[in-house]
Amino acid sequence: MATKVVSNLKEAIELAKVTDGMSISFHHHLRNGDHVLNMVMDELAAMGVKNLTVNASAVFDVHAPLIDHIKNGVVTKLCVNYMSKGIGTHICKGIMDTPVEFRSHGQRPADIENGRTPIDVAFIAAPTSDTMGNCTGKMGKSRFGSIGYAMADAMNAKTVIVITDNLVEYPLTCASITEDYVDYVVAVDEIGDPNGIMSGTTAQTRDPVRLRMAQTAVKCIEASGLLKDGMSFQTGAGGATMAAAMYLKDVMLEKGVVGSYIVGGISTASVDLQKAGCFRALQDVQSFDLGAAADLLENPNHIEVSGRRYSSSIGKSSCMNNLDVAMLGATEIDVDFNVNVHTDSNGIIMGGSGGHTDIAEICNMAVVIAPLFRNRLPIVLDHVTTVSTKGENIDVLITESGIAVNPRRQDLKEKFIAAGLNVKDIHELKAMAEKICGVPQPAPKGDKIVGEVFGHWGEHVDYIYSVPDKE
Residue among 101, 120, 153, 179 that touches a copy of itself (CB under 8 A) = 179
- Comparing CA positions, the residue from 179, 150, 154, 136 lying closest to residue 28 is 150
The 10 Å Cβ neighbour count of residue 260 is 17
Which one among 237, 303, 417, 437 touches a copy of itself, defined by CB under 8 A?
Answer: 303
Q: Is the dihedral of CA 326, 332, 338, 343 positive or negative?
A: negative
Among 8, 72, 98, 321, binds a copy of itself (CB under 8 A): 321
Spatial distance between the Cα atoms of 89 and 349, rounded to a whole number of angstroms: 6
CA angle centred on 237, ends 306 and 82, rounded to 5°: 65
Among 35, 308, 356, 456, binds a copy of itself (CB under 8 A): 308
- By C-beta, is 226 or 461 nearer to a copy of itself? 226
| Residue of 48, 115, 169, 203 interacting with a copy of itself (CB under 8 A) | 169
The CB-based long-range contact list for 447-450 (8 Å cut-off, 24+ gap) reads 448/94, 449/99, 450/91, 450/92, 450/94, 450/96, 450/99, 450/100, 450/349
Give helix 410-418 / helix 208-224 axis angle, nearest 10°.
110
Query: How many alpha carbons lie under 13 Å from residue 369 in its C-beta half-sphere?
Result: 29
Residue 261 carries which side chain, given as an amino acid letter?
A: Y
| Shortest reach from residue 358's CB to a copy of itself, in Å | 13
Contact window for a copy of itself (CB under 8 A) among 35-43, 276-284, 411-419, 458-466? 276-284
> Per CB under 8 A, does 260 bind a copy of itself?
yes
Q: What's the closest the beta carbon of residue 21 comes to a copy of itself, in angstroms?
A: 24
**Interface segment toward a copy of itself; rule CB under 8 A; list 200-208, 305-313, 342-350, 422-430:** 305-313
| Residue 105 Cβ vs a copy of itself, minimum distance, rounded to whole Å | 14
Size of interface with a copy of itself, in residues (CB under 8 A): 41
Of 19 and 317, which has the nearer Cβ to a copy of itself?
A: 317
Nearer to a copy of itself, 67 or 281 (CB): 281
Q: Report residue 312: phi and psi, to 5°.
A: -90, 145
Say which residues have a Cβ less than 8 Å from residue 192's Cβ, sequence separation at least 6.
Answer: 30, 33, 34, 35, 36, 125, 142, 144
In whole angstroms, how close is the CB of 96 to a copy of itself at the nearest point?
Answer: 33
Which residues, 6+ apart, have CB-to-CB distance to 155 below 8 Å? 113, 181
Taking the complex as a whole, the smallest distance from the CB of residue 308 to a copy of itself amounts, in Å, to: 5
**Interface segment toward a copy of itself; rule CB under 8 A; list 32-40, 280-288, 329-337, 366-374:** 280-288
DSSP state of 202: -
Question: Which of 283, 286, 385, 386 contacts a copy of itself by CB under 8 A?
Answer: 283
Q: How many residues does the chain have?
A: 471
Q: What's the distance, Cα to Cα, between the start and end of the chain in Å? A: 65
Can you tell me the distance from the alpha carbon of 365 to that of 362, in angstroms, rounded to the nearest whole number? 9
Using the rule CB under 8 A, which residue among 142, 312, 385, 389 binds a copy of itself? 312
114-133 mask for a copy of itself (x: CB under 8 A)? ------------------xx
Determine which helix (DSSP H) or strand (DSSP E) holds 356, and give its type and residue range: helix 356-362
Binding of a copy of itself by 146 (CB under 8 A)? no
Q: Single out the segment in contact with a copy of itself by CB under 8 A; choices: 45-53, 76-84, 178-186, 424-432.
A: 178-186
Question: For 377-401, b where at least 16 C-beta lie within 10 A, e where not — what string?
Answer: bbbbbeebbbbbbbbebbbbbbbbb
User: How many CB atoms within 10 Å of residue 422?
Assistant: 13
170 touches a copy of itself (CB under 8 A): yes
Candidates 160, 186, 248, 380: give the one binding a copy of itself (CB under 8 A).
160
Binders in 364-403 for a copy of itself, by CB under 8 A: none
Please tell me whether residue 72 adopts helix, strand or coil conformation.
coil
Name the helix (H) or strand (E) containing 243: helix 239-255
Least Å distance, CB 252 to a copy of itself, is 17
For residue 177, the minimal CB distance to a copy of itself (Å) is 11
181 vs 465, beta carbon nearer a copy of itself: 181
Rounded distance between C-alpha atoms, residue 37 and residue 445, angstroms = 31
441 binds a copy of itself (CB under 8 A): no
CA distance 450 to 72: 18
Stretch that binds a copy of itself, among 30-38, 163-171, 386-394, 397-405 (CB under 8 A): 163-171
- Residues numbered 330 to 359 that lie near a copy of itself (CB under 8 A) are none
* Interface with a copy of itself in residues 3-42 (CB under 8 A): 4
Residues between 206 and 235 with contacts to a copy of itself, criterion CB under 8 A: 230
Closer to a copy of itself by Cβ: residue 170 or 247:
170
Closest approach of a copy of itself to the CB of residue 413, in Å: 23
Q: Binding of a copy of itself at residue 287 (CB under 8 A)? A: no
Query: What does the binding site for a copy of itself look like in residue numbers (CB under 8 A)?
Result: 1-2, 4, 132-133, 160, 169-171, 173-175, 178-183, 230, 260-261, 280-281, 283, 300-303, 305-306, 308-309, 312, 314-319, 321-322
